[in-house]
Amino acid sequence: MRKISVVSGGSGGLGLSLAELLLAAGKDVLILGRNAEKLNRAAKKLVRISEKAHVSTLVCNIGNEDDVRRTGQFMKDHCCTTEYLFNNAGRGLCADYSLTTSDLIDKVFEANLKGLILLTTEILRITPEKEELTIVNIMSTSALLGRDKESLYCASKWGARGYTEALRAEFKGTKRNIIAVYPGGMKTDFYKVADKNRDISSFMDPREVAQKILCSVLNADKLVVTDITINRKK
Give the HSE-up count for residue 83: Cα atoms under 13 Å, Cβ half-sphere.
14
Give the HSE-up count for residue 85: Cα atoms under 13 Å, Cβ half-sphere.
28
The full set of domain ranges for the chain reads: 2-230
Which pLDDT score is estimated for 65? 97
* Phi, psi values for residue 31, rounded to 5°: -105, 135
Task: Give all strands (DSSP E) within 10-143, no chain letters.
Answer: 28-33, 55-59, 80-87, 133-138
Which pLDDT score is estimated for 188? 80
Select from 29, 157, 14, 16 the least CA-distant residue to 84.
29
* Per-block mean pLDDT, blocks of 10 residues, the chain (234 long): 96 96 96 96 91 92 97 96 96 86 94 97 97 96 93 96 97 96 87 67 91 91 85 82
Which pLDDT score is estimated for 193? 61
pTM of this prediction? Answer: 0.92
Which pLDDT score is estimated for 229? 96
Core vs surface per residue 153-166: b (16+ CB within 10 A) or e: bbbbbbbbbebbee
Which pLDDT score is estimated for 1? 86
Q: Are 89 and 9 in contact (CB under 8 A)?
A: yes
| Region 2-230: CATH code | 3.40.50.720
Cα 111 to Cα 82: distance, rounded to the nearest angstrom = 21
